[in-house]
Structure formats: structure tokens, C-alpha cells
Structure 1
């Protein structure tokens, strides 16, 4: 286990692959139910085998990274990533791969640090504009209500298995012991027209969640945007379709974002 002190927290980080190629991918996981393990057992090792410098870490409050009681605004997550890159000696622009909230962090980082961002690939995420703030507020409060209900974890274990039940218990502990529910919706937002995002962007959406409504909007706002729409998939593309995810990320890194962008391609899942 490797930990790096950044600001007020110790970040649990794993780095794989060669570190001298100048091609670094940072894998950003989702909120509450997620950790770097989602990438460690899916995309991370495969990318390292392709010769990519892979950085994956537990976000503040998650996994083995420090869990402060407060300080969960999006800008704090952005500052954590900026400090982590400094601590690791990564001075060149990095490719950001973000799952769910990790994709939102990627947008926030690219807006604050365009000089450090080579590209963004996000899965089932929204950029941090007002609509996202509304959605994340609703989602966090819904999670509190569902997980605090009597028998919630027993119901999850019976219907979905012991592993989802353990993840749900971990999520509930974060909700109960931190100010994350209040902090995240109060985050600093980026420009509504996304003019702060200047790097190439690939968005990956499942057809079952409703987030693909963004495709036309993002195409109109971003200078270089492409989308992949996965037929029949929900919010867990990374975990449910790891082989497809590996292919999407590898294709993006090795030439995908250098081609002419602007398409929206539907892929059968």
C-alpha cells in the first residue's frame, strides 16, 4: 500500500506501468460505493501492459485515503489531484478517465488546470454545472434515505449479494460521518457553456440512465467531443463491461482523440 501526503490528507495511490514515456493516465473512481479497486481489477493492469503510466487512487473519504469530517466540495477533489501529480513528479499533461463522479472531477480539473490536462474520457458523468449540482443533491439525499431505512442492508444482501451490501455499508458510513451531503452540492461550478474545457473529450453513456441527453448539448459546447452510447447498459459500465471499457480507453489513448471528433456512435452491449 502506497500513501502520499497531499494537503490535509494521506492519499492511497497505486501506480503501474512505465513512468518515463510521458503518457500518463489518471483513473478517477465514483462516489460513495467506489474506490480505486474498480480500476485495479478492470482497466488499470491492461493499460499498464500496453506501456501506459497508470495512476489510480482513492478519493478523499474513500477506500484507504484519509476521511476528514468536512471538505468535500468538488474543488477540494480537484486540488487533491493537482497536489498528487506534484507529489508524483508528473509535470506533463495527463489523460483523465473518470467514472461517474470521477468524470465530474475530470471536468473540474480540466477547467482549473488546462495546461495539465491532455484529454478526458468520462463514463456516465456530468460536467459540474448547475444541473449537475441539482442532480447530485437529489442523489445524495436519496442515498441517505434509502440506506437509513430499516433492513436496508439485509434487503440489498438478499437481492443483490453480499458484495453490494458491503459497498452500501461503506457508503452509508461516509454519509453518516462526513459533511459530504452538504458539501458537494455547494461546490464551485465551471462555466455553464463549458468554454473552460479546451481538451478533447469522449463521453461514454448507457442507454438506461438518461444521461445520454447530454450528447447534443456537449457536441455544441465542446470544441472536440465524441460519444459512445452503449445499448442496454446502466450506470455500471466499468464493472459490468470491463473488456469493452478497456477497449474504449485504449482506442482513445492510442489515436482515438487525434481523429476528427464529433460523432455519437451506439454500441450494442
Structure 2
């Protein structure tokens, strides 16, 4: 009796040319999407470098054919405006402390909700999650009255405190879920080695949670930097950020592109720089937890 040995047919690999073509098509598609996304920013920048007459007579793309009409005179004029300069620094003084406070408090709370046992932990976390559905508009009037009684209304600390309070529910929810995915065995091993909770949090949990923390910091910074509603209500003329100052300029100068375009681009360039500098951490944070 003879046996016939069958050999498995080798798998056919896709041709290398088609693989390169598909990858090239994806890269071209992504490049087109990126170009479309950056076109408004480029148009705003070119408009800010043109005179009012040039902007009124032709579109911003005409500057590509006649680059000699571009100059930084509008920025020079804008930066001589003490109100705009003060508004820019007010925006920094509002955005940076808010981002630091939200990330620091949310990291501590997220670790506590994920790995510490205390009475009412689950119910308190459910309360935090329930606060995510509360619109910010509901709290404007009550908080404004409270800030008026405390002497915080119309000040930078008041705006920072409001943004911090309303940014914490989402931040705690995000970091708690991320910290909960850390293997329990790692924390138990650290405790067996004599590590306290603070040492475990600072030397183990925080480094592992860096992608999520970086993504949260980017989101929080962009939300606060671009906010106008809260600042319009809680900030006065001395503490107003750049968004409110530009809105005031728009009411005063109407459609004066020579004033509004440089200010708008100045407000836009900082979030763009933050995003491009930390884009790797942002992508890692988005992908965190998707692959175990």
C-alpha cells in the first residue's frame, strides 16, 4: 500500500507592484486631505500679509502670482496694539494653568478610581460620568453669581477655575479607563517590592499613561485656547483672551481684513504649532488601548 504525500500549495503573495501602488494611492489621498485642511490657514496667512486694497480687489490666491505685494506691515501694526498683545498673554495665562490643573487632578483621580478601594468609589465615578452630559450653558448663570460673591468674576483665575471644573469630568473618565487597562500583576509586583501608592503612581502609572495624558493635554489646551463663550461672560476688558479681543475688533472695524486676518492667524498658529509638535503623542494616545 503506497501513501501519497501531498504538499501544500504555496500561498500566492500579492505582486509587489500592486502593493506599492496601493500604498502610493493612500499616501496621495492623505496628502490631498492634508492640503485641503491646510488651505484655509494658508489663505488666512496670505490675506494677513496683503493690504486692504489688495484683499478687496482680488482673492488671496492672487498673491501666489505676485508675491511682491506681501509684507508684515499688518502684523507690525497689530503688535503695536497693546490690547491685542495683552489679550494674547491673557490667553496663555488662561490656557496653560487650566491644562496643567486638569491633567494633574484628572491623573490623580483616575488612578484612585481605577486602583484604590474607598467607600462609594463606583457611585462617585458614576456621578462624574453623569456630569459629562451637563451642557456648559446650564452652569453659566449660577457660576457667574457665585463668582460675583467670591470676587472672582471678571478675572483670569475665575476663567481658569471654570474651565478646570468643566474639563475634569471628561479628563477623569478618559484617564481612569486608560489606567484600568494596566495589568494588575504589575501593580501587585510593585507593592510586593515595597512601593507605596505615590511611588507606584509617579514611577509606574504615569510613564505608562503618557500617551493618554499627552492626548488629554492637547485636547484641553485647544479647547481652552479657542474658547470664546466662557471668556466672553467671565472675563472683563483686562482679562479677556484673544478670541474675545478679536470679536471686539470685528464689531469696531467691521470687515477690515487688514486688522482681523493677522489677529486671527495669530490665534490660529499657536494651536497648529502645539498639534504638529505633539502629533506623535497625539496619535499614540488615540491608538492607546486599541491593541493589547
Q: TM class by shorter-chain length?
A: under 0.3
Relative contact order, CA 8 A, sep 6+: which one is greater?
Answer: 2
TM-score by length of 2: 0.22
Which structure has the bigger radius of gyration? 2
Which has more helix, going by share of residues?
A: 2
